[in-house]
Amino acid sequence: MFGRNRGSFSSFQRLCLAMAFINDSLHLDQRLFPPNLCLVPQKKGDAKAEICIMDSESSEENYPDGGLQAWTVIFGSACVNFSTVGYMTAWGAFQEYYENGPLKGTSPSAIAWIGSTQYSLVFFPALLVGRLFDLGHFRYPLMAASVLLVLCTVLIAECTEYWHFLLCQGLGLGITSGIIAGPAASVVAHWFKKRRGTALGLYALGSPLGGTVFPILFRNLHVAVGFKWTLRIIALILTFTLVMANLTLKRRLRPKSDPGGLLNPEQFKSPAYSLYTAAGLVCFLGLYTVSTFINASARSQGIEGELTFYLVSIANAGSVVGRVSVGVVADRFGALTVMIPTTFLAGVLTILWPFVRGPSPLVVVALLYGASSGAFAGLLLAPMMEFGDTSDVGRRTGMFATILAFGALAGPPISGAINRSTGGYTAVGIYAGSAVIVAVVLLVLSRYCILGGWRGKA
């Protein structure tokens, strides 16, 4: 009787029932009790029990949202981003060196596949490592991949053939970076809720910092000490940042008790999640086209000197501003509310970029594009935390990131193919910018599905 009608009892009534039957184990049915009431046996084999009233919010809901340990986790996650995504975004400097050095005679598009492969593989392992994170397997994969990432960097210095570079830099760096980076955002979700936008903005800060530091470092060091010692110095820097990450990253919540499967198809029954995932895929087809080709487009205008190299670093510096500034705003108004206008601006700038002439206007475009695209990247995973339980965030984020990988893999080669077929960058900018704006439309629809209307925080 009680099992069928337990929904009609208030929490107070259930407590009274429990107290009435406390000495009779045959009448105790835990399903009668509210979620925050538990029975604790006094000793093993004793039917008597003590009633404890747990706090209205479980440990999974009491997010620290600050404190030394929580901010230390953010520092570690930023070190992860610096060492993985930030390192990957330095590819333009490697591409230029390879075209005129060890891979001279190999087509630029073939060389570009090394960079495209490594960047896409940052996302592909997310499905597996995200699920492992949910199940509590976090520390050992992080340690092993950190060692292998440093080793692959050292081995790049010894490469001489195209397939050597593809194996060590494309596959090796890509896979190890994916294993390291995959759980980092999930760890952040364990420590922050109300201030999650700020936390993710600081977490994402590592990427543009790496994207600014590594190209400048590579350009200056390979001239001064040679290619091999440049890679060894980079390996030492990565050793330091990855040691910091391994020492500071820590999960807070218990592993998921229900193992489940690698995939959760039920998640795609949520229109908001499906639309958001589609938006990420489409956006990645065009979002990073400007940062990939802005140096080459400047040279095609006849602009020479150091500026053509530093445009990407300028864009990454703008991205630092974008990622940090939007976090606080997102905590106030919602991540999607902030992402929609900033991503739209990135799409417009992508379309305008080929029509901009002269060094100064290109610097302005690079800064504004970096800030607006950085806002998107900095908040990319924030809505993902809200699409379900924190205990399943690894699998949910992993499915999302794995789908994004296809956009990251296909985007630059598509833009490169358009450039080769048209002989310019106008069509490239229109294609890439249009993809970003289509993604904005999908973001708007996802936000509408979350709120059930146009107003509210999401």
pLDDT of 124 over the 50 cut: yes
pLDDT of 53 over the 70 cut: no
Q: What percent of the chain has pLDDT over 90?
A: 30
pLDDT of 168 over the 80 cut: yes
pLDDT of 22 over the 60 cut: no
Query: Which pLDDT score, from 0 to 100, does residue 342 have?
Result: 94
pLDDT of 372 over the 70 cut: yes
- If one compares 255 and 299, the residue with the highest pLDDT of the two is 299
User: In a 3-state reduction of DSSP, which class is residue 436?
Assistant: helix
Q: What percent of the chain has pLDDT over 70?
A: 84
pLDDT of 369 over the 80 cut: yes
What's at 377, amino acid-wise? Answer: A
Query: Which pLDDT score, from 0 to 100, does residue 260 have?
Result: 64
User: In a 3-state reduction of DSSP, which class is residue 317?
Assistant: helix
Longest dimension (CA), the chain: 89
- SS3 for 70-118, per residue? HHHHHHHHHHHHHHCHHHHCCHHHHHHHHHHCCCCCCCHHHHHHHHHHH
What's at 80, amino acid-wise? Answer: V
pLDDT in tens, 177-210: 999 987 787 788 788 878 877 887 788 888 888 9
DSSP conformation class of 21? T
Residue with the two structure tokens 């030394």:
68
Fold of 68-451: Growth Hormone; Chain: A; (1.20.1250)
Is the Cβ–Cβ distance between 62 and 55 less than 8 Å? yes
Question: Lowest-pLDDT range, 219-223, 276-280, 343-347, 351-355?
Answer: 219-223
- In the chain, domain spans: 2-53, 68-451
pLDDT of 15 over the 50 cut: no
pTM of the model: 0.73
Rounded CA gap, 141 and 266, in Å? Answer: 27
Supply 402's token pair. Answer: 């794995």
Supply 342's token pair. Answer: 């900033």
Question: Lowest-pLDDT range, 152-161, 194-203, 276-285?
Answer: 194-203
Query: Which pLDDT score, from 0 to 100, does residue 314 have?
Result: 86
C-alpha torsion sign, points 149, 152, 154, 156: negative
167's CB contacts (< 8 A; 6+ apart) are none
Rounded CA gap, 145 and 233, in Å? Answer: 19
What's at 106, amino acid-wise? Answer: T
